[in-house]
Amino acid sequence: MTSTSHKPLDLLIVGAGPAGLSAAIVGARYGLHVLVLDEFPEPGGRMLGQFHEENGGWWVGKREAERLVAECKALGVDICCSLSVYGITRTDRHWIVRTTQGSKSAVNVLIATGAAEIPCPCPGWTLPGVMSIGAAQVMTNVHYVKPGERGLIIGANMLALAIARELAVSGVVLIGIVLPSPGPLAGADASPRQQLKRLLGLASLAPSTLLRIGGKLANSLGLAGVALRLLPRKGLNIWGVPLQLRTAAVSINGEQQVESVTLANLTHDGKMITGSEREVKVDFVALAGGLYPLAELAAVAGCPFDFAVELGGHIPLHDEQMRTPLEGLYVAGNITGIESAQVAMAQGRLAALSICGEMNRLGEYPDKLLQDGLADVRQVRASALIQFQPGISLAREQIYQKFRAFQETRV
């Protein structure tokens, strides 16, 4: 794939993660010529490093990825890895997508680029040995190399807890999960009260108790009380990792790389207790700031955006069928809001149905198929084990309303 081919592709998908691969399968089933592009050397996206307990067994993202890739291959979907997409422009009839291996033209483009991690800077965070928590996950579960001998996680959000579990199971030594130090950058992330509320709020949302951590926290504290006084200083033991909601990381220290962290105690409302600082030896630190939608490509394409804190940040405007206001441009997966891989897969399938519907490929009952696709996403979302923020469904409804309002202004 070196130059713009003469006949545009039916569907070009950016991102070979759960959303992109699922969309490719549905598109190919309805006869579309589909190409999937991804920057990572192998397809599967971040699913490659994810696993969690579900219904008494392990949900293993790598196996899901292998299943999706095999199905893509069987259907003749082209998957190209190790290349980057850096531009997208529209001609009067189709999209031109610029990649590090030439340009491609396509009638429809699905942007399924997923999410990136929110940086959470603190003194010493540029030292080698400090990494985003996703990096620790990828090194351990995808490349099979431990991120270090002894580590600390800074940031107590859903992402941190889910990955802490994976790292603990994989034999990586973690001395604890602590809060970032109070300051303008950390905001509510550095307040024990806010964090506890947030974690408990999420726990109550998850039908089968979020990774069981919700249950553990709720049992330890009593859901109603949120009594921070009861939080032990040394932390709650979560799968052998102390979750220390009354401790903050003041700095990461080292001459050339990470040698230690300085920790301090916090008051209930998140103020540092002077004189409580102490140095603890670690050789790596994982920063967990949460995820935000990786949406630059949609911006480059000219898609309007809206901000929704529940969805993780700036979201390309889209409707429930995954259409953006731009002709032939669709979005699916974490670019539309931070949720689990299962939701991304359902969104991918729905996006492909929308595209096939637009191209009159859905046969006799297109509306029925689209309705089923919509119901599929709603059902998967309602039963999702991992929810990153409360209020996702409501926030999504507001995005769809804004999409409708935007479309009306253009008529």
Partner 1 sequence: MERIVNHPILGPRKDSRREVSFTFNGQRLTGLEGEPVAAALLAAGIRIWRRHEESGSPRGLYCAIGHCMECRLLVEGMGLARACLTPLKANMQLAEGPQLPNEITGRKLT
Residues forming the site for partner 1 (CB under 8 A): 39-41, 46, 51, 58, 60, 62, 82, 84, 116-117, 126-132, 134-135, 138-141, 143-149, 169-171, 256-257, 294
Nearer to partner 1, 148 or 182 (CB): 148
User: At closest approach, how far in Å is the CB of 326 from partner 1?
Assistant: 24
Q: Which two tokens stand for residue 36?
A: 């999937």
Nearer to partner 1, 140 or 389 (CB): 140
Is residue 116 within a helix (H) or strand (E), and if so which, with residue range?
A: strand 115-117
User: At closest approach, how far in Å is the CB of 55 from partner 1?
Assistant: 15
User: At closest approach, how far in Å is the CB of 92 from partner 1?
Assistant: 33
Nearer to partner 1, 55 or 360 (CB): 55
The CB-side HSE value for 123 (13 A sphere, CA atoms) comes to 14
Nearer to partner 1, 169 or 280 (CB): 169
- Other C-beta atoms within 10 Å of 49: how many? 22
Matching residue, tokens 């207790």: 273
User: At closest approach, how far in Å is the CB of 335 from partner 1?
Assistant: 14
DSSP class of residue 391?
T
**What is the spatial distance between Cα 180 and Cα 63, in angstroms, rounded to a whole number?**
34
User: At closest approach, how far in Å is the CB of 41 from partner 1?
Assistant: 6
Query: What is the SS3 string spanning 259-312?
Result: CEEEEEEECCCCCECCCCCEEEECCEEEECCCEEECCHHHHHHCCCEEEEHHHC
User: At closest approach, how far in Å is the CB of 63 from partner 1?
Assistant: 9
Nearer to partner 1, 67 or 368 (CB): 67
Q: Which two tokens stand for residue 315?
A: 């979201």
**What is the spatial distance between Cα 388 and Cα 339, in angstroms, rounded to a whole number?**
6
Nearer to partner 1, 132 or 347 (CB): 132
What is the dihedral sign for C-alpha 150, 152, 153, 156? Answer: positive
Cα angle vertex 111, ends 109, 117, to 5°?
A: 165
